[in-house]
Structure 1
Amino acid sequence: MPRTVLVAYGTTNGSTAQIAETVAEVMSKEGLTAEARPAASVDDVTRYDAVAVGGGLYAGRWHKDARRFVRRNRRELTGRPLWFFSSGPLDASASEKDIPAVPGVRRSMTRLDARGHVTFGGCLQEGAKGRIARMIVRNGKGGDFRDFPAIEAWAAGVAGELIEERGKN
C-alpha cells in the first residue's frame, strides 16, 4: 500500500504554496501519494501516513496558519513521520548555509519529535500583500530566492526515507 503524505502550508503571497506543491509533486514522482493543501483547510490528518508542514517566515515567526495547524493537530501528528520547512530569507543565505528553525518551530519539533527542518529562500515580488511586504519590495529588497533544485532534493530525500521504511514493514 502506498504511503500517503500531506504537505500542509501557511502562505500569504503564494511563495510557500509553490514550494509545498513542488514537494508534493516530487514525492508523487518517487512513488508516494502526496498532496499539498493550505494548512487552514485541513480538518483531518488521520488519513495520512506522514506529514510535512511548511510556513512562510514573517518577522521571525512561522505563518499563523502553519502554527495553528500544528497546534490543532498535535495529537494526530505525534507518532507520525513529520517534517517541517520554512521559507523566508530574501537573500541567498538559505542556499549558502543551513538556517535553523525559528524558536517556535524548534519547540514544536521537540514536542512532536519531528524528523527534520529545512529553511528555503523566500520570494517577495511586486503586488505582494501587506504594508511591510510592499515596503520591502519598494525598497528593492524583494526578489525570488527559492532554490527549486534544493527543494526537490529535500523532498526526494524525505520520500526516500518513507519508501525505505515501507520496505521494512
Structure 2
Amino acid sequence: MTIKVLIAYASKNGSTEELARTVARTLDKEGFVTDLRPAADVLDTEMYDAVVLGSALYTGRWLKDARRFAARHRTALAARPVWLFSSGPLDATANERDIPLVAGVRRIQARIDDRGHATFGGCLTADAEGRMARMIVDSGKGGDFRDFAATAAWAREIAADLYRLLVVARED
C-alpha cells in the first residue's frame, strides 16, 4: 500500500526548507512516498494521504506562503492527517522546552484539527536576506540552532502515527 505525504514549507532563507527536507528523507526511509514542495507552489492537496506543513517564524508569525496554504487548503487539510512545524528560535530553547505556539498557528490548528506541532531551532547567518535579518546577525544573535536529529526523530513519530492511522486502519 502506497501512502503519499506532502511536505510543504515556507522558507525565507532556506533553513526551514532544509528541515522539511529532513522530514521528507526520514519519511521516505520509513517507507512512505513524499513530495517536498514550497507551500506557494502547491495547487492541490487531494492526491495526498497526509500533509506536513512548516514555516519559518519571523516577528512571531509564520510566513505568508504557509498561512495562505493553510487557508486555501483548509477543507482538504481537515479531511486528512496533518502535522505542523515552526522554525525560528535563534537559541537553544527549542531543544530545552516546549515553545508556546504563535497565535496564527493556534488559529490554523483550530481550523484543521492537526495531529501535532513541533518547534525547531532556526538558522540566521550573515548571508540572510533582509534588513531586519542582517541587524539580528550583526547584533550577534544569529547562528544555526537547528537540530536535525530531533527533526528526524519527530518525523519518525509521524511515520509511526501514519502507520497506525492509515495502514492498520485499512487492514481492519
Give TM-score, length-normalised by structure 1.
0.98
Aligned partner of 2:145 in structure 1 is 145
User: Where do residues 116-155 of structure 1 align in structure 2 (5 Å cutoff)?
Assistant: 116-155=116-155
Deviation at 1:167, TM superposition (A): 2.0
Deviation at 1:130, TM superposition (A): 0.6
Deviation at 1:164, TM superposition (A): 2.0
- Gaps of at least 5 residues in structure 1 are none
Give the Cα separation in 1 of the matches to 2:2 and 2:168: 11
In the alignment, is residue 19 of structure 1 matched against residue 19 of structure 2?
Answer: yes
Look up the equivalent residue of 2:60 and give its one-letter code.
G
User: Where do residues 39-78 of structure 1 align in structure 2 (5 Å cutoff)?
Assistant: 39-78=39-78
SS of residue matched to 1:43: coil
Deviation at 1:47, TM superposition (A): 0.5
Deviation at 1:137, TM superposition (A): 0.8
Superposition RMSD in Å: 0.8
Look up the equivalent residue of 2:47 and give its one-letter code.
R
Aligned partner of 1:158 in structure 2 is 158
* Deviation >6 Å, runs of 4+: none
Aligned residues: 169
Give the Cα separation in 2 of the matches to 1:16 and 1:144: 11
Question: What fraction of aligned residue pairs are identical, expressed as a percent?
Answer: 57
In the alignment, is residue 113 of structure 1 matched against residue 88 of structure 2?
Answer: no
Moved more, 158-167 or 117-126: 158-167
Look up the equivalent residue of 1:148 and give its one-letter code.
F
SS of residue matched to 1:2: coil
- Gaps of at least 5 residues in structure 2 are none
In the alignment, is residue 4 of structure 1 matched against residue 13 of structure 2?
Answer: no
Is the 1:100–1:118 contact (alpha carbons within 8 Å) kept by the matching residues of 2?
Answer: no
SS of residue matched to 2:85: strand
Give the Cα separation in 2 of the matches to 1:68 and 1:48: 18
SS of residue matched to 1:99: coil
Give TM-score, length-normalised by structure 2.
0.96
Deviation at 1:138, TM superposition (A): 1.0
Aligned partner of 1:167 in structure 2 is 168
Give the Cα separation in 2 of the matches to 1:12 and 1:125: 12
- Residues 10-46 of structure 1: CA distance to partner in whole angstroms, max 9, x if unpaired? 0100010000000000000000001211000000111
- Residues 111-156 of structure 1: CA distance to partner in whole angstroms, max 9, x if unpaired? 1111111100000001100100011111111000001111000001
Is the 1:21–1:35 contact (alpha carbons within 8 Å) kept by the matching residues of 2?
Answer: no
Look up the equivalent residue of 1:120 and give its one-letter code.
F
Look up the equivalent residue of 1:5 and give its one-letter code.
V
Is the 1:4–1:48 contact (alpha carbons within 8 Å) kept by the matching residues of 2?
Answer: yes
